[in-house]
Structure 1
Amino acid sequence: MKVYIVVGALAVLASLVAPGLARTMDRCSLANEMSNLGVPRDQLARWTCIAERESSYRTHVVGPANTDGSHDHGIFQLNDRYWCQARGRRSSNLCGLSCDTVRTDDITNAVRCAQRVLSIQGWTAWSVWRFCSGDLPSIDPCF
């Protein structure tokens, strides 16, 4: 019975993601869009590493439940307990956004919120930071 519940829950979750709201980026497309949004170029390799590790560059991802019942959203996996407001959940909503807005093709809100996380908690806010803290491949070939 539990298998059906899990499969059913996944089917419902998949149905909530409209085809037009699901995009998988790549390292260079993300770097270029972030650069166009004013993100400093010296941060782009780190951001692309985080996005690759957190969401495989997918804008629409909702992560599995964390131990506190919260979920992580979008390309940078922003937590709905602190950073964005998910429907029916309590949140500090420090970015002042609906979690739906960080899971769209337009990554502007996700980028702005991720920058806020960085300004408050630093790079270590992301659990994947250990993979993204050393020397990374240059982002220059993307430009």
Structure 2
Amino acid sequence: MKVLAFFVLALALAAPAFGKTFTRCSLAVEMYNLGVPKDQLARWTCIAEHESSYRTGVTGPTNSNGSNDYGIFQINNYYWCQPASGRFSYNECKLSCDALLTDNITDSVRCARKIQGQQGWTAWSTWKYCSGTLPSIDSCF
């Protein structure tokens, strides 16, 4: 039994971190502190909820074109970030995809805002859940 307990403890210590999980309000406050306008926060939190369940450490399954999506906003590595594999990427956000998996969401927010600025909200396939009237974010502040 002691051997099993030691083995489980060793695995737990060796396992990689799985990222931070925000709540709707904690994400809204963090994004506001990073300069996102308050009138956009309900949309951004809705997208994060449907893309990653507010989790920072998520890498999505491989897409049909061989690309993957990273982080809280599931940002695609073919266009927006450079994967560690060295695979070709346009890397429009000029960052490593690993930077989108950290608990510090500064790079994720910056890149997501760039995507939204260039392609609009429909850049996210989950936009259909976030395009209508959304609950107010005001209670978070």
TM-score tier, shorter chain, comes to 0.7 to 0.9
1:45 maps to which residue?
42
Match of 1:29 among 21, 26, 51: 26
1:125 maps to which residue?
123
2:97 maps to which residue?
99
Q: Which ranges of structure 2 fall in alignment gaps of 5 or more residues?
A: 1-13
Tell me which amino acid in the other structure corresponds to 2:101.
R
Q: Does the C-alpha gap of structure 1 residues 92 and 60 become closer, same or farther in structure 2, counting only changes over 3 Å?
A: same
Structure-2 separation of matches of 1:53 and 1:142: 19
Structure-2 separation of matches of 1:63 and 1:102: 12
Structure-1 separation of matches of 2:62 and 2:29: 31
Q: Deviations over 1:97-121 (max 9, x none)?
A: 0000011000000000000000110
Q: Deviations over 1:20-57 (max 9, x none)?
A: x6111110000000000000000000000000000000
Question: How much is the aligned-residue C-alpha RMSD, in angstroms?
Answer: 1.3
Q: Does the C-alpha gap of structure 1 residues 85 and 17 become closer, same or farther in structure 2, counting only changes over 3 Å?
A: farther
Q: Does the C-alpha gap of structure 1 residues 111 and 127 become closer, same or farther in structure 2, counting only changes over 3 Å?
A: same
Structure-1 separation of matches of 2:122 and 2:15: 29
2:63 maps to which residue?
66
Structure-2 separation of matches of 1:17 and 1:97: 25
- What's the CA shift for 1:18? 2.5
Structure-2 separation of matches of 1:56 and 1:43: 18
- What's the CA shift for 1:87? 1.4
Structure-2 separation of matches of 1:96 and 1:111: 13
**Partner SS, residue 134 of structure 2:** coil
**Partner SS, residue 82 of structure 1:** coil
Q: Which ranges of structure 1 fall in alignment gaps of 5 or more residues?
A: 1-15
Report how many residues are paired. Answer: 127
- What's the CA shift for 1:17? 7.1
Tell me which amino acid in the other structure corresponds to 2:125.
S
